[in-house]
Every structure is written in structure tokens, then in C-alpha cells.
């Protein structure tokens, strides 16, 4: 039985990574795909844990070789998911989660229409601004750019299957986990997983 492909997207500052990490701690069977990026690491980010950090030249070489499942140019830097990180695991029946932006999500849905997509919203613009400033890593000018980019990202919310407002973190974590659990209980998934059981239950006594 082929695994589920989950997509999670959000504007910067909505708490996407924290939510994803909390849910994966509760659902360790889901594999998180680590994206590639051509930008440099930010304070606290580690190679192969947060991203695979590579040069722009290397990224473009991988694009030319067809190595990416999806990729996009975001704010002047490339981001993408390697094919090897997704397709073999899905074929082996393992669920995979992609933490990507709306551009990547659109490419993935075109390739795999049955992918389940979730968009995370902040509870307000004020909260989004405060979360960005709490990082203490960016100037006011950079924050203004990030807020503008966040508005652009959020304008694509209607392209996603599920929307979660990250106001109460525990509630948002429960809601995201519920989406993943429900996906595994769909008829096609369950009948494929329990084919022998259904056949036995339907046998004449």
C-alpha cells in the first residue's frame, strides 16, 4: 500500500516548524523530508537537520539533472525537495511530510493530486509581527520584507485542503495530528491495508 504524502505550508512566523516537530514526536512513523536550499544557514540552523545547505551552482546542477521532486526560487534563494527523499519511501508504504511553501505545494499537487495539504495561519497580523521580532535576528527593513512575503504566502491559503490557526499551540498540534490520522482511515487506505480481513469477514459461513 502506497504511503500518504502530507504537505504543510505557512508564512514565516506562523510556527510551522514547531507544530510539525510536535506532531512528528507523536507520529514517529511519518518521515520528514529535509529540503535543500541555496541560502546560507541562519543562527541555530544545522546542515541535514533543518536543511541541506548547498551552493546555488550545485542546486542548479541538481535541477538540470532532474533530481528534484519540487523546487522553487523563493526570495532570491532556491528551495527544493529531492526525489530520493520522497518517492522510494511512498512506494515502500511510508507516510512522508513535506514542509514547503505554496509554490512547491502547487508542483507537488500537480504531480500527486491525492497529496493532503495543510496551511498554517497565525492568529493575527500583530501576532505574526511579534513572532518575527522575537527571533532578534532581523532588522526592521528585513522584517517588513518578511511581512510582505507572508501576505503573499497567505493569499494562496485557498489552494490547501485544511487550514489550522496556530493560536493555541496544543490545540493546533491536536488538529494537525487529526488530519494525519484521518488520512490513514480513508476507505482506499484501509481496504488496501486490511484486504485479508475484509475478505475473511465477507466469506459465507
The whole-number pLDDT of residue 204 equals: 87
The whole-number pLDDT of residue 53 equals: 97
The whole-number pLDDT of residue 50 equals: 87
The whole-number pLDDT of residue 132 equals: 81
C-alpha cell at 91: 512506494
The count of other CB atoms within 10 Å of the CB of residue 34 is 16
The whole-number pLDDT of residue 137 equals: 67
Cβ(147)–Cβ(8) under 8 Å? no
The residues of the chain scoring below 70 in pLDDT are 135-137
- Structural domains of the chain in order of their starting residue, each with its CATH number: 5-201 (3.40.50.300)
Measured CA to CA, the distance from residue 51 to residue 38 in angstroms comes to 10
Cβ(4)–Cβ(97) under 8 Å? no
The whole-number pLDDT of residue 136 equals: 63
Cβ(146)–Cβ(138) under 8 Å? yes
The whole-number pLDDT of residue 139 equals: 80
Measured CA to CA, the distance from residue 183 to residue 205 in angstroms comes to 33
The whole-number pLDDT of residue 129 equals: 85
The single-letter DSSP state of residue 68 is: E
CA-based nearest residue to 8, from 146, 131, 102, 72:
102
Beta strands in the chain (DSSP E): 5-9, 31-33, 36-37, 52-53, 68-74, 77-82, 96-99, 116-121, 162-165
The whole-number pLDDT of residue 135 equals: 66
The whole-number pLDDT of residue 69 equals: 93
Amino acid at each position: 500500500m502506497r504511503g500518504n504524502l502530507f504537505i504543510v505550508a505557512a508564512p514565516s512566523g506562523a510556527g510551522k516548524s514547531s507544530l510539525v516537530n510536535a506532531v512528528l514526536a507523536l507520529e514517529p512513523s511519518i518521515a520528514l523530508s529535509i529540503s535543500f536550499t541555496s541560502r546560507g544557514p541562519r543562527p541555530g540552523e544545522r546542515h541535514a537537520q533543518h536543511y541541506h545547505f548547498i551552493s546555488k551552482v550545485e542546486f542548479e546542477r541538481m535541477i538540470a539533472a532532474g533530481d528534484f521532486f519540487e523546487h522553487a526560487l523563493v526570495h532570491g534563494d532556491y528551495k527544493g525537495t529531492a526525489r530520493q527523499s520522497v518517492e522510494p519511501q511512498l512506494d515502500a508504504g511510508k507516510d512522508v511530510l513535506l514542509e514547503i511553501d505554496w509554490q512547491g505545494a502547487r508542483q507537488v499537487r500537480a504531480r500527486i493530486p491525492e497529496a493532503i495539504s495543510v496551511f498554517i495561519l497565525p492568529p493575527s497580523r500583530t501576532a505574526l509581527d511579534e513572532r518575527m521580532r522575537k527571533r532578534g535576528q532581523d532588522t526592521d527593513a528585513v522584517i517588513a520584507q518578511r511581512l510582505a512575503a507572508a501576505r503573499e504566502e497567505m493569499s494562496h491559503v485557498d489552494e490547501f485542503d485544511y487550514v489550522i490557526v496556530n493560536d493555541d499551540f496544543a490545540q493546533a498540534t491536536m488538529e494537525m495530528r487529526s488530519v494525519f490520522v484521518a488520512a490513514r482511515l480513508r476507505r482506499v487506505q484501509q481496504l488496501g491495508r486490511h484486504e485479508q480481513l475484509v475478505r475473511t469477514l465477507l466469506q459465507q459461513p
